[in-house]
A and B are shown apart, each in its own frame.
Chain A
């Protein structure tokens, strides 16, 4: 019997982008309100898990052709580079820095190096969660 998941797949197409945008929001809001890299990464992972539930490993691998272990490594590298970059300017390890910049679309925005550390945390959380799920779920 071929199962028919039309309602699940159609609702997933909408709900995935809602969860994705909420994950981005909670990631960027982490500096002033609750949230941050960890919760944002877990939400992104749960959005991809919802895709995996509605479709299957092969389809999701075609849609999102990421190597999740490589994503974990890149996240670790970004976090460590942000931490070690302060040594170049002759300040202690993990010293952060911020300044205000004028961007063409966003206007005056403050860039804090803690955000790059958080991007590393985000990538590590997404990569590790999906690596675990692929290892457990994807036995061929």
Chain B
């Protein structure tokens, strides 16, 4: 079982390396944003696997926290690429 979990950790680390390649090489900004979001999901799965490996339930809050932060970060980045402003003052009078 432990061997299986370590194999999963290895595969996930390889996928994180792939996401990092896309993050460095990505020709456009949305490629990099999606790569960052996927790195967040990969980190969530890694934390889950390590919480099984260390036999401790205390990492489970980190998973939800990472998911929330990755979501908010991705929304902020995509709003910036779409509108050029992250938080508007007044949506109705904004052009």
Which of the residues B72, B82, B88 comes within 8 Å of A57, measured between beta carbons?
A: B88
Is B64's CB within 8 Å of the partner chain A?
Answer: yes
Which of the residues B58, B69, B87 comes within 8 Å of A52, measured between beta carbons?
A: B87
Is B68's CB within 8 Å of the partner chain A?
Answer: yes
Interface footprint category on B = 20 to 34
Q: In this complex, what residue of A is CB-closest to B91?
A: A56
Query: Cβ of B75 and Cβ of A140 under 8 Å apart?
Result: no
Residues of A close to B69: CB separation below 8 A: 46
Given the interface pairs A46-B69, A58-B90, the reply to whether A8 lies near B58 with Cβ below 8 Å is no
Chain B nearest CB, measured from A101 CB (Å): 27
Query: Cβ of A56 and Cβ of B79 under 8 Å apart?
Result: no
Residues of A close to B87: CB separation below 8 A: 52-53, 56-57, 133, 137-138
Is B25's CB within 8 Å of the partner chain A?
Answer: no
Residues of A close to B86: CB separation below 8 A: 53, 137
In whole angstroms, what is the CA distance A50 to B82 when docked? Answer: 16
Residues of A close to B65: CB separation below 8 A: 39, 43
Question: How many A residues have CB within 8 A of the partner chain?
Answer: 28
Given the interface pairs A3-B83, A26-B61, the reply to whether A49 lies near B90 with Cβ below 8 Å is no
Is A84's CB within 8 Å of the partner chain B?
Answer: no
**A-B CB proximity, top 4 nearest:** A56-B88, A137-B87, A56-B91, A58-B90
- B51-95 contact mask (Cβ, 8 Å, vs A): 1 or 0: 000000010010011001101100110010011001111110010
